[in-house]
Amino acid sequence: MTTPTSNYSDANVNDVVQPCQRHPESIKEGHFHYMRLVLHPCSPPPAPKSPSHIPTGTAGIGKAAVLALAAHRPARIYFTGRNASAGSAVISEAQKLHSCACPPLTFIQCDLSSSRESIRAALAEKFHSSRLDILIANAGVMAIPPGLTDEGFELQFGTNYLGHAVMLQLLRPLMLRTAQDTSVGGGGDVRFVAVSSFGHTMAPSSGIEFLKLKLPDAGTKWQRYGQSKLADILLAKGMAKRYPDILSVSVHPGLVKRELGPRAEWSVMMMLMQPLTLTPLYKGPEQGAHNLLWAATTAKENFWRAASTMNRWGRRRAR
C-alpha cells in the first residue's frame, strides 16, 4: 500500500481551520453534527460493521473504545497515543480479554502537539492498510497551563484540534477511496467521529480567536479549551459539507472520569465543588465511550432519527 500523502506539502493552518467569528447556528441543540446521545448505562456498544479503524488515545474513553471494538473482531485496529508503554498495555489487555479472537492491533506513537511532519512520519511508519473505515478523533488535553505546540500554536488548540485535523487531512484520501469500495462488508460506509465536549460553550463569545492562536496564554485556560472543542465541532461540520461520502459527526461523551494527563489543571473552587455537584453524574470510561462507539458503528438511518429527537441530556424531545 502507498502510505497516505494527500497534499501534505502544501498544508498550513488555513487548510485545517475554517473562519468562524461567532458560534454558528448549526451547532445549536439537536443539530446533526453535534449530537448529545446517551446509551443506557447497561447497553453494550453496537457491533461495528467496518473492518479497519483508528481510534486515538491510550487511556480513558480512547482505551475503552479500542477494547470495545476489539471484542467485535474487525480486520484491524490502529490506535495512537503519546506513550509507547501505555500503547503496549492496551494491546496486552485486549489480547488477554479476547484471547485468540483478538484482532490485530497496531499502536502508532504520535504526539498530537508535535509538528505536522512528525505526525506524517508516524503514520507513514506504522499505518499500512488498503482501506480505512472509521477514524475516531478522541485524544486530548484539558485546562492545562499555558504552552505552545512544536509549531508554535496554543497548546490546547494544537493538541485537541490541529493534531487531529492534520491526521485527518493525511488519511482523508484513503477514506474517500474506501467509501467508493463496496467489495468488503461495510464498504461505502466510512465515518469520521470527532469527540468534542459541552465545554465548547466556554469558548470566547466571539468564537475562535484566530489572531491569538499563537499566543500561549490568551484568555483563560477554560476559554482556550472551549475554543479547541468548538473547532472539533466545526471540523466535523466542514467535513460533512465538503465530503458527503464520509459520514462525519461530533459527539459529546458526557461527564466522564477521564485521564487527560498530568498537565491537566483544576481551580481550587472546582475541586471543592466537584464532589458536591458533579461526581454523582460522572460515568466510567466504558460508559463514556458508548456515544462515540454508537456514532462510529450504528446504522446510518439512526442518525437522522436520533439527531431530531434527542436533547442535551439524551432524553427524547417532545415533537
Catalytic positions are 225, 229
Q: For residue 129, what are the CA distances in angstroms to 124, 223, 303?
A: 11, 38, 28
Count the Cβ atoms, other than its own, within 10 Å of residue 7.
Answer: 10
Asked if 5 and 169 touch (Cβ cutoff 8 Å), the reply is no
Q: Which amino acid is at 277?
A: T
Asked if 45 and 293 touch (Cβ cutoff 8 Å), the reply is yes
Between the CA atoms of 166, 167, 172 and 175, what dihedral angle is there, to the nearest 10 degrees?
A: -170
Asked if 38 and 314 touch (Cβ cutoff 8 Å), the reply is yes
Cell of 229: 472543542
